[in-house]
Amino acid sequence: MEKIKVGLLGLGTVGTGVVRIIERHQDDLQRQIGCQIEVAKILVKNIEKDRTVEVSKDRITTDPDEIIYDDEIQIVIEVMGGIEEARDYILRSLDQGKHIVTANKNLMATHGREIIKKADEKKCDVFYEASVAGGIPIIRPLVESFSSDRIHKIMGIINGTTNFILTKMSEEGVLFEDVLKEAQALGYAEADPTADVGGLDAAYKIAILATLGFHADVDINDVSVEGITKISKQDVQYAKQLGYEIKLLGIAERDDERISLSVQPTMVKKSHMLASVQGAYNAVYVYGEAVGETMFYGPGAGEMPTATSVVADLVAVAKDMKLGVNGLRESRKLSEKNMKSENEIFSKYFVLVHVEDEVGVMAQIAQQFASCGISIDAVIQQPKNDKTFTEIMITTYLTSKANINQVIRNFNMMKAVRKVASVYRMED
Amino acid sequence: MEKIKVGLLGLGTVGTGVVRIIERHQDDLQRQIGCQIEVAKILVKNIEKDRTVEVSKDRITTDPDEIIYDDEIQIVIEVMGGIEEARDYILRSLDQGKHIVTANKNLMATHGREIIKKADEKKCDVFYEASVAGGIPIIRPLVESFSSDRIHKIMGIINGTTNFILTKMSEEGVLFEDVLKEAQALGYAEADPTADVGGLDAAYKIAILATLGFHADVDINDVSVEGITKISKQDVQYAKQLGYEIKLLGIAERDDERISLSVQPTMVKKSHMLASVQGAYNAVYVYGEAVGETMFYGPGAGEMPTATSVVADLVAVAKDMKLGVNGLRESRKLSEKNMKSENEIFSKYFVLVHVEDEVGVMAQIAQQFASCGISIDAVIQQPKNDKTFTEIMITTYLTSKANINQVIRNFNMMKAVRKVASVYRMED
pLDDT of chain B, 428 residues: tens digit per residue: 689 999 999 999 999 999 999 999 998 888 888 889 999 999 999 998 888 998 989 999 999 999 999 999 999 999 999 999 999 999 999 999 999 999 999 999 999 999 999 999 999 999 999 999 999 999 999 988 898 899 999 999 999 999 999 999 999 999 999 999 998 998 888 889 999 999 999 999 999 999 999 999 999 999 999 999 999 999 999 999 999 999 999 999 999 889 999 999 999 999 999 999 999 999 999 999 999 999 999 999 889 999 999 999 999 999 999 888 898 876 667 889 999 999 999 999 999 999 998 889 999 999 999 999 999 999 998 888 788 899 999 999 999 999 999 999 999 999 999 999 999 999 99
| Interface contact flag, A308 B148, Cβ < 8 Å | yes
* The pLDDT of residue B415: 94
pLDDT exceeds 80 at position A385: no
**Residue B186 CB neighbour total at 10 angstroms:** 10
pLDDT above 70: residue A331: no
Q: Does B315 touch chain A (CB under 8 A)?
A: yes
49-108 of A, contacting B, C-beta below 8 A? none
In whole angstroms, what is the distance from residue A412 CA to residue A419 CA? Answer: 6
Residues from chain B that touch A333, judged by Cβ atoms under 8 A, are 31
Determine, for residues B146 and A312 on separate chains, whether the beta-carbon distance falls below 8 Å: yes
Instruction: Please classify residue A24 by burial: count the beta carbons closer than 10 Å to its beta carbon, then call 0-12 exposed, 13-18 middle and 19+ buried.
Output: middle
Q: Per residue in A190-206, is it b (16+ CB within 10 Å) or e — as a string?
A: eeebebbbbbbbbbbbb
Shortest CA distance from B28: residue in chain A: A148
Report residue B75: phi and psi, to 5°: -130, 135
Q: Which pLDDT score, from 0 to 100, does residue A1 have?
A: 62
Q: What is the ipTM of this complex?
A: 0.92
Distance from first CA to last CA of chain A, Å, rounded?
Answer: 53
Q: Is B278 on the interface with A (CB under 8 A)?
A: yes
Q: Is A230 exposed, middle or buried (0-12, 13-18, 19+ CB in 10 A)?
A: exposed
Q: What angle do CA B279, A160, B157 make, to 5 degrees?
A: 20
Going through B50-202 in order, the beta strands assigned E by DSSP cover 60-61, 73-78, 99-102, 126-127, 151-157
Residue A68 confidence class, pLDDT cut points 50, 70, 90: very high
Average pLDDT over every residue of A321-343: 86
- Candidate from A31, A34, A145 with C-beta closest to B312: A145
Q: Which tens digits make up the pLDDT trace of B93-129?
A: 999 999 999 999 999 999 999 999 999 999 999 999 9
Among candidates A225, A253, A287, which has minimal Cα distance to A400?
Answer: A253
Given phi > 0 = left and psi -120 to 50 = alpha, else beta, which region is B152? Answer: alpha
CB A421 within 8 A of CB A231: no
Look at residue B1 in the predicted model and tell me its pLDDT.
62
Mean pLDDT (chain A) is 94
Pick from A416, A351, A352, A357: nearest CA to A390: A357
CB pair distance less than 8 Å for B304 and A293: no
Residue count of chain A: 428
* Residue of A28, A32, A297 lying closest to B273 (CB–CB): A297
List residues of A with catalytic annotation. Answer: 205
Contact B308 A290 (CB under 8 A): yes
Q: Does B141 touch chain A (CB under 8 A)?
A: yes
Rounded CA separation B218/B402 (Å): 22
Q: Taking CB atoms and an 8 Å cutoff, what residues of chain A touch B298?
A: 291-295
Secondary structure of residue B155 in the 3-state scheme? strand
List the single best residue of B268, B291, B311, B334 to mutate versus A (max A Cβ within 10 A).
B291
pLDDT digits (tens, 9 = 90+) for A248-271: 999 999 998 899 999 999 999 999
Residue A113 at interface with chain B, using a CB cutoff of 8 Å: no
| Pairing of the two strands A417-427 and A399-400 | unpaired
Secondary structure of residue B203 in the 3-state scheme: helix
**Binary contact (A17, B290; C-beta < 8 A):** yes
Contacts of B308 in chain A (CB under 8 A): 146, 148-149, 288, 290-291
In degrees rounded to 5, what are phi and psi of residue B112?
Answer: -55, -45
Chain B residues near residue A297 by CB distance under 8 angstroms: 273, 293-297
| Nearest-by-Cβ selection for A293 from B17, B298, B329 | B298
Sign of the CA dihedral running A415, A417, A418, A424: negative
* A415/B contact by beta carbon, under 8 A: no
pLDDT of residue A181: 94
What's the pLDDT at B255? 94
Is the separation of the CB atoms in B165 and B159 below 8 Å?
no
Distance from C-alpha of B224 to C-alpha of A60, rounded to nearest angstrom:
51
The 8-class DSSP code of residue B345 comes to -
Residue B63 is given by DSSP the state: -
Query: What pLDDT shows up at residue B303?
Result: 92
Task: Say whether residue A304 is in contact with chain B using an 8 A CB cutoff.
Answer: yes
Q: Which residues contact A219 (CB under 8 A, 6 or more apart)?
A: A109, A110, A112, A113, A207, A211
CA dihedral A14, A15, A18, A24 (to 10 degrees): -110
CA B311 to chain CA centroid, nearest Å? 20
Q: What is the pLDDT of residue A159?
A: 96
Nearest to B32 among A129, A147, A295 (CB): A147
Residues of A in contact with B305 (CB under 8 A): 290-292
Lowest-confidence pick of A114-118, A348-352, B387-391: B387-391
Chain B: closest CA distance from residue A381 (Å): 31
Element (H, E) at B364: helix B361-371
- List the single residue in A with minimal CA-CA distance to B332: A32
Locate the chain B residue with the closest alpha carbon to A334. B31
Active site amino acids of B: 205
A and B: number of Cβ contacts within 8 A: 182
- Tell me the sheet residues that pair with B100: B76, B126
Contact B294 A296 (CB under 8 A): yes
Top residue of A147, A257, A276 to mutate, by most chain B CBs within 10 Å, is A147
Could you tell me the pLDDT band of residue A77, with boundaries at 50, 70 and 90?
A: very high
Identify which of B149, B307, B312 has the shortest CB distance to residue A308: B149
Q: Which residues of A touch B152 (CB under 8 A)?
A: none
Buried b (16+ CB within 10 A) or exposed e, A305-329: bbbbbbbbbbbbbbbbbbbebbbbb
Q: How many CB atoms lie within 10 A of CB B142?
A: 25
CA distance A329 to chain B (A): 7
B171 and A CB contact within 8 Å: no
Report in angstroms the alpha-carbon separations of A35 from A28, A318, A319.
Answer: 11, 9, 10
User: What is the helix (H) or strand (E) element at residue B369, kind and residue range?
Assistant: helix B361-371
Q: Hey, CA dihedral for B31, A335, A282, B134, is it positive or negative?
A: negative
Helix%, strand%, coil% for chain B, nearest 5: 40, 25, 35
Kindly report the three-state secondary structure assignment for every residue of chain A: CCEEEEEEECCCHHHHHHHHHHHHCHHHHHHHHCCEEEEEEEECCCCCCCCCCCCCHHHEECCCHHHHCCCCEEEEEECCCCCHHHHHHHHHHHHCCCEEEECCHHHHHHHHHHHHHHHHHCCCCEECHHHCCCCCCCHHHHHHHCCCCCEEEEEEECCHHHHHHHHHHHHHCCCHHHHHHHHHHHCCCCCCCHHHHCCHHHHHHHHHHHHHHHCECCCHHHCEECCCCCCCHHHHHHHHHCCEEEEEEEEEEEECCEEEEEEEEEEEECCCHHHHCCCCEEEEEEEECCCEEEEEEEECCCHHHHHHHHHHHHHHHHHHHHHCCCCCCCCCCCECCCECCCCCCEEEEEEEEEECCCCCHHHHHHHHHHHCCCCEEEEEECCCCCCCCEEEEEEECCEEHHHHHHHHHHHHCCCCEEEEEEEEEEEC
Contacts of A28 in chain B (CB under 8 A): 148, 150
Residues 6+ apart with CB under 8 A from B54: none
CA nearest to B333 within chain A:
A31
Number of CB atoms found within 10 A of residue A46's CB: 9
How high is the pLDDT of residue A334? 82
**Residue B32's pLDDT is what?**
84
Does the CB of B299 have a partner CB in chain A at under 8 Å? yes
**How far is B60 from B364, CA to CA, in rounded Å?**
69
Residue of B nearest to A304 (CA): B290
Q: What's the pLDDT at B331?
A: 63
Q: Which of residues 215-274 of A touch B (CB under 8 A)?
A: 215, 271, 273
- A152 contact B CB<8A: no
Asked if the model's pLDDT at residue A329 lies above 80, the reply is no
